[in-house]
Amino acid sequence: MSKLKALRPYFLVAPQTIVLLIFLVLPIVLIGVVSFWEFNGYSMTPAFTLDNYRGVLTSSVTLDTYLNTFKYVVLVWAVCLAMAFPVAYFLSFCIDNPRLQVILFLICTIPFWTSNIIRMIAWIPVLGREGLVNQALTGLGLVETPVAWLLYSDFAVVVGLVYLYAFFMIAPIFNSLMRIDRRLITAAQDMGASGFQILKEVILPLAAPGISIGSIFVVTLVMGEFITVRLMGGGQSASVGKLINTQIGSLQYPLAAANAVVLLAVTLLLVVLILRTVDVRKEM
Amino acid sequence: MPESSTSISPDVGPDTRSDLSPDMHLEATSSTSAAATAEKATGVSLRAVTKKYGPVVAVQDISIDVAAGTYCCLLGPSGCGKTTTLRMIAGHEEITYGDVFIGGRRVNALPPVKRDTAMVFQSYALFPHKTVWDNVDFGLKMQRLDRQARRQRVGEILDIVGLSDFAQRKPDNLSGGQQQRVALARALVTRPQVLLLDEPLSALDETLRVRTRGELRRLQKQFGLTFIQVTHAQDEAFSLSDQIVVMGDGHVDQVGTPQRIFNRPASRFVANFMGDNNLFEGNVTQVEADGEVAIAQLEVPQLGKFTCQAEVAPDVGMEAAFCIRADRMQVTRRGELPEQTTNHLSARITAIEFTGYITRVALLAEATGQELLYKARTQDWLARDLQEGQVVELYWTTEAANFLSH
* Residue A184 to residue B142, Cβ atoms within 8 A: no
Which alpha helices (H) appear in B258-334, and where do they start and end?
A: 258-263, 268-274
pLDDT of the residue at B8: 35
Q: Count Cβ atoms below 10 Å from residue A238 Cβ, excluding itself.
A: 21
Q: With 50 as the cut, is the pLDDT of residue B32 above it?
A: no
Judgement on whether residues B70 and B208 belong to the same structural domain of the protein: yes
Judgement on whether residues B282 and B345 belong to the same structural domain of the protein: yes
* Residue B125 to residue A193, Cβ atoms within 8 A: no
Tell me which of B119, B170, B197 to substitute to probe the interface with A (most A C-beta atoms closer than 10 Å): B119
Nearest-by-Cβ selection for A202 from B90, B91, B127: B127
Q: B190: which chain A residues are within 8 Å (Cβ-Cβ)? A: 191-192
* Chain B residue with Cα closest to A196: B142
- Could you read off the pLDDT of B71-98 as tens digits, one per residue? 999 999 988 999 999 999 999 999 999 9
- Could you read off the pLDDT of B296-312 as tens digits, one per residue? 888 888 888 888 888 88
* Chain B residue with Cα closest to A205: B129
Judgement on whether residues B390 and B250 belong to the same structural domain of the protein: no
- Could you read off the pLDDT of B212-259 as tens digits, one per residue? 898 899 889 888 899 999 999 888 999 999 999 999 889 899 999 999
Architecture of domain A53-279: Orthogonal Bundle (1.10)
CA distance B74 to chain A (A): 20
Judgement on whether residues B84 and B100 belong to the same structural domain of the protein: yes
Dihedral through CA A117, CA A121, CA A126, CA A127, nearest 10?
100
Judgement on whether residues B59 and B102 belong to the same structural domain of the protein: yes
A20 pLDDT tier (thresholds 50, 70, 90): very high
Please state, rounded to an integer, the average pLDDT across all residues of chain A.
89
pLDDT of the residue at B282: 86
Tell me which of A180, A185, A191 to substitute to probe the interface with B (most B C-beta atoms closer than 10 Å): A191
Give the domain CATH number at B383: 2.40.50.100
Judgement on whether residues B40 and B145 belong to the same structural domain of the protein: yes
Q: Give the residue from A269, A250, A248 showing the smallest Cα distance to A70.
A: A269
CA distance B18 to chain A (A): 30
* Residue A188 to residue B142, Cβ atoms within 8 A: yes
* Residue A191 to residue B127, Cβ atoms within 8 A: no
pLDDT of the residue at B36: 38
Q: Which of B240, B263, B286 is the last residue of a domain?
A: B263
Please state, rounded to an integer, the average pLDDT across all residues of chain B.
84
Domain ranges of chain A: 53-279
Q: What is the DSSP string of B76-115?
A: --TTSSHHHHHHHHHTSS--SEEEEEETTEE-TTS-GGGG
pLDDT of the residue at A124: 87
A188 touches chain B (CB under 8 A): yes
Judgement on whether residues B225 and B284 belong to the same structural domain of the protein: no
CA distance B232 to chain A (A): 20
* Residue A183 to residue B119, Cβ atoms within 8 A: no
A17 touches chain B (CB under 8 A): no
Which residues, numbered 210 to 239 in chain A, qualify as contacts with chain B under a Cβ-Cβ cut-off of 8 Å?
Answer: none
CA distance A210 to chain B (A): 14
pLDDT of the residue at A16: 93
Q: Which of B213, B240, B263 is the last residue of a domain?
A: B263
Q: With 50 as the cut, is the pLDDT of residue A47 above it?
A: yes
Q: Which domain holds residue B330?
A: 268-404
Judgement on whether residues B145 and B158 belong to the same structural domain of the protein: yes
* Residue B112 to residue A184, Cβ atoms within 8 A: no
Residue A21 CB burial class (10 angstroms; 0-12, 13-18, ≥19): exposed
Give the domain CATH number at B59: 3.40.50.300
* Residue B125 to residue A197, Cβ atoms within 8 A: no
Give chain B's domain count.
2
Q: How far is CA B281 from CA A18, B253, B300, B406, in A?
A: 76, 19, 6, 11
Percent of chain B clearing pLDDT 70 (strictly above): 90
* Residue B92 to residue A186, Cβ atoms within 8 A: yes
